[in-house]
Chains A and B, each alone.
Chain A
Amino acid sequence: MSGGATRRDALRVMGASIALSALAGCDEPDEFGHPLHGRGRGVASEDAVFATTLELDGLGRGVLVRTRGGHPIKVEGNPRHPASLGASDVFLESAPLSLHAPERSRQALQHGRPAAPGASRDAFNGLRGEGLRIVTGPLSSPTLRRLVAEALAANPGSTWHVHDPMADPASQAAALAAFGEAVEVLPDLRAARTMLCLGADPLGHGPAQLALARAWQAGRPRLLVAEASPSLTGARADRRLALHPAEFEPLARAIATELGVAGLVAGAAHPAAASLAASLREAGSEALILTGRGQSAAVHAIAHAINAHLGSRALRFVPAPAAGGAEMAPLEEAMRANEVSRLLLLDVNPAHDRAGFAAAMGRVVHSVHIAERVDETGRVASWHLPLNHPLESWGDSRAFDGTPSIRQPVARSPGGEVMGAVEALLALLGWEGTGRDAVRETWRGAWGEGDFESKWEEALEAGVAGESVPAASLALRADWDLPGRPIPPGLAAHFAPDPHLRAGAFAHEAWLQELPRPLTRLSWGNAALVAPETAARLGLAPGDEVELSLGGESLRAPVLPLAGQAVDCVTLPLGFGRRAGGPVGEGRGFHAAALRPADGAWVVPDLTLRPTGRRVALIARESQPGLEPDAAKVIGPGERLPPFAPTPSLHQPWSYPGAAWAMAIDLDACIGCNACAIACQAENNVPVVGPEDMARGRGLHWLRVEKHDRPEDRSVFQPVPCMHCEKAPCEPVCPVNATLHDHEGLNAMVYPRCIGTRTCSNNCPYKVRRFNFEDHRRRVDTPARNPDVALRPRGVMEKCTYCTHRIQAARAEGRLDTVETACARACPTRAILFGDLNEPQSDVARARQDPRSYLMLEQLGTRPRTSYLARVEEGGA
């Protein structure tokens, strides 16, 4: 610089006395306290990526885990794994958070009191012997299945029970009736042209969601959906029907009658059947019927028969990877009859999911519960032993299509009494060896001794350990029809997994509790979902408390009228009302599982509902006012939107000599799964604010997913990150220049400069700026945080940065053409594209040329860098 005082020098002198206090107050010691990690072995770099496997409902999904200094900081999909294909969902993304959860158990407990070190041997010793009962979740893991079989053989008269609150017994019964084998239907949405979903939700959360959503986006079959309660598939449907649970079987029978399916025991009539049957007949072998949870075995069987009748090529059958094990009801009966003296519960929580289980289990003299946290079951068990997080222990798994993969630990186990599931079964058997040895032993048996080592290394490197199971060719049996007792009309209870918590297995994940559910928009709680017509009939407003009675049990719950809900059908989301398992999940919402019958039925008729006159505050994030109706555009097929015509501006134009970053979001591909929102939270250290602040609208999610209503109670989902406007309204109004324009078009936020006037947020028409009302840094600053993103103190604004740290990392590695933001990386349908507008061949530059491309609130002249591609619907806007 030339001589003389500069602006910065003047500021330095002026700020000298302020610096005194600032030095003491601003940079707290812990901000600088992060140590340097010198690894024991290997290279000097602190970063490493591992391929491993995480399970949902017992089925594996391959992931790549990014670690820093030995700590997992981000989970992303493994492109080579068929259940991930590089995408991720809310469950995968939140895995590093639970790894560092403070409420995880670290020591063995006997009757709730800490046991002496090494005493867990006694727990296992007491299990060995006649009449052992082992309860696990659904197991696809070849090693765990092998060890369970060994344990059964070693202990005469023992039984393996599978507790799966997500299981659908009717579907299994129908497969047995139709084909004589317990097979699962794997739909091929690429090959389908017309798909009818009867309560099925292939685009909704589940172990195959990522693969199904990717295939749906590639094939784009016409979606006809009949469902009792709105789902993500229904939201995206081309035609949607809201049906009471009693109506499904008549509809299915009527369609089968229309199509002339052979073997139908009884026919039926339904007003919607003719047109649906015509659509299916027209698509012929490219038609497909899918059935989902809550359907009777008859409906499942009719769907099998129609698919066989049409000769559908859009599906194949595979043996269920996690099949096997006895049911839970006989165990419960035996426990009540005092016939069970040895009980092992491995990573399951039946005391929450099954109403009478805890009381029955209290009669067992020696029960050992092994889980990550002391949950409802752990409180009743005589022993609780701590279990490793899946990211800490060896294991293996199979995907929904049977593809095996190895799970390798990416973080160190806390040690002490904490053990993995494989180690637990080894301890039960009294065998020597580590979990790794046991997993290798399984695969040595499968692969042979020859080139085992190279295959093992390859499986760890790739994250996939073999091929999918070949499809079974099955012929439909003649006596496939299963006419059962029809569901009567009238008020019915419809149990459903919560989109984020499943049946409660993820209730401890604060990210998932806080993120508004895609359709109900609720966070930190659930509500009994009723149709607006039912609510009007009973005079119920959102948040009104009702008493629900079913089969002698009753509970109180708030109601939420939801458009698209079938009349007289009350949907009760599971997963809430936890009484143990950590402060995040305890006491949120109501315990719907308490009403659920022991046979695990998803639909139960004869529900009674009585308003109590009380009110419960529901925490819901509604769509941002002011954006409607033009924010999410919907056009007809082939329709073109006018090209962008820039309005004149007084602001100086910027030049972008290098890259000009931009994002394009395809509303036609978005299924509203929320993966982007959680990926953003994980990537950018976005704090959890808690239910009180969520109720005040102080949530900090940088990326929100808006829901816009469409006819037939369908929805358009719209992810809204920062628009990074070229004429950003937030920039000129900042009094301290804390938000400013970057040379690549990024709207940057300088946290240390921000003084928290919030003027920028007031001036932002898209309302994407978030304000820190509290200092969340201490809670976020765990080893799971992303060290590449700064933590924000209290009183400053924050917002989407277009993952500027990823851009910088890519630049340093010389791969600017492959920059992906965290949200784009997570998206299962590739609805979010990110890239350089100055590069004409980039995806995002081409998306800008698409006739569906538009800018949100274009008329304001803000020239956003984030553009949208309009949704296409039959019938158009």
Chain B
Amino acid sequence: MAPLFTPRADARLRLALVVAALLAVLALALGYAWARSGSTWAIGKPTEQPIPFSHAVHAGQLGLDCGFCHSNAARGASAGMPSGELCLGCHQRVWNVTAQFAPVQAAVDTGMATQWASVHRLPDHVRFHHAAHLAAGMTCATCHGAVETMPRTVRAETLSMGWCLDCHRDPRSRGLTPVGLGAQPYVHAGVEVPPLTRCTVCHK
């Protein structure tokens, strides 16, 4: 009877183990790269909107200020979406393509809201306050990127928790001056806790 194991069996086993280990590392590395890649966070992916709105035209070519349409950003938690009246105020005169403005016209006529797909919606357990961030000296572009160059609005940053914390740990090093809560020093058990990294600051 031939021996069950040939002299090369050990070598094969070792090779297989090495290959398996390499594959495992490769899978982890690929998984890590995928999880961290922009496409996983939907960076650069446009969403279907009720109207093919172009920030490149409005904010870029026409040079409208962000606050012209998103007027609540400096005041409240949500930046706010422009009302149908505001859109039609101009578009009854220029680029008056009735079919395209049907959703906005319907909102004006019925008093209902136009539902825009959110490109920057944060997870449910996150609280974000636009006005607080603007008051600290941030610009819209810090999170939203160069919107004035986007024909279709897309996400420019991951908006992951780590990305937020990059700033929240030490906002002053980026030239930002947090107001209110961020100004309070806080030491627990001899360790200074950066005031803006406490859970309840950003989480519901």
Contact = CB atoms under 8 A, between A and B. Distances in A.
Interface of chain A: mostly helix, strand, loop or mixed: loop
Interface string A730-743: 00000000001011
B111 interface: yes
Contact of A40 (B77, B109, B180): B109
A652 B188 contact: yes
A752 interface: yes
A16 B36 CA distance: 9
A412 B111 contact: yes
Contacts of B110: 40, 412
Contact of A16 (B35, B72, B77): B35
Interface stretch (B4-12, B93-101, B119-127, B142-150): B119-127
Given A652-B188, A805-B127, A811-B180, A17 B82 contact: no
B76 A40 contact: no
B203 A13 contact: no
A209 B35 CA distance: 57
Contacts of B27: 17
Contacts of B40: 23
A610 interface: no
Interface string A58-88: 0000000000011000000000000000000
B198 A39 contact: no
A751 interface: yes
A37 B83 contact: no
Nearest to A808: B127
A645 B70 CA distance: 54
A614 interface: no
B80 A45 contact: yes
Contacts, number: 165
Contacts of A789: 204
Nearest to B69: A44
A32 B107 contact: no
Contacts of A41: 83-85, 108, 111
B195 A743 contact: yes
A35 B200 contact: no
Contact of A69 (B104, B113, B132, B201): B113
B31 A17 contact: yes
Given A654-B188, A657-B185, A742-B198, A37 B72 contact: no
Most A C-beta atoms less than 10 A away, residue of B78, B108, B132, B193: B78
Nearest to B111: A40
A414 to B, nearest CB: 12
Given A35-B115, A45-B72, A46-B78, A27 B85 contact: no
Given A790-B124, A790-B204, A743 B107 contact: no
Interface string B165-204: 1100110000000001100111111000101001111011
A375 B127 CA distance: 41
Interface size class, chain B: 35 or more
A477 interface: no
Contacts of B83: 38-44
A357 B48 CA distance: 55
B35 A19 contact: yes
B189 A38 contact: no
A728 to B, nearest CB: 14
A809 B78 CA distance: 12
B115 A811 contact: no
A23 B69 CA distance: 33
A652 B77 CA distance: 35
Interface string A654-674: 110110000000000000000
A154 interface: no
Contact of A38 (B34, B84, B187, B199): B84
Contacts of B170: 1
B120 to A, nearest CB: 9
Interface in A163-212: none
A27 B181 CA distance: 29
A654 to B, nearest CB: 6
A43 B74 CA distance: 13
A791 B123 CA distance: 10
B72 A36 contact: no
B78 A39 contact: no
Interface string B124-155: 11010101100000000000000000000000
B123 A788 contact: no
A650 interface: no
A69 B77 CA distance: 13
A812 B129 contact: yes
Contacts of B158: none
Contacts of B59: none
A36 B184 contact: no
B151 to A, nearest CB: 19
A37 B85 contact: no
Interface string A704-747: 00000000000000000000000000000000000010111010
B2 interface: no
B114 A37 contact: yes
A778 interface: no
B127 A788 contact: yes
A39 B204 contact: no
Given A17-B28, A70-B112, A811-B180, A743 B123 contact: no
Given A23-B35, A37-B115, A812-B129, A743 B186 contact: yes
Interface in A1-54: 1, 8, 12-13, 16-17, 19-20, 23, 27, 31-47
A27 B123 contact: yes
5 contacts: A1-B166, A12-B32, A46-B78, A654-B188, A743-B188
9 A-B pairs closest in CB distance: A44-B80, A16-B32, A38-B81, A40-B107, A790-B125, A37-B113, A35-B115, A38-B114, A19-B35
Interface of A: 1, 8, 12-13, 16-17, 19-20, 23, 27, 31-47, 69-70, 412, 652, 654-655, 657-658, 740, 742-744, 746, 748, 750-752, 788-791, 804-805, 808-809, 811-812
Interface of B: 27-28, 31-32, 34-35, 40, 69-72, 75-85, 87, 104, 107-118, 121, 123-125, 127, 129, 131-132, 162, 165-166, 169-170, 180-181, 184-189, 193, 195, 198-201, 203-204
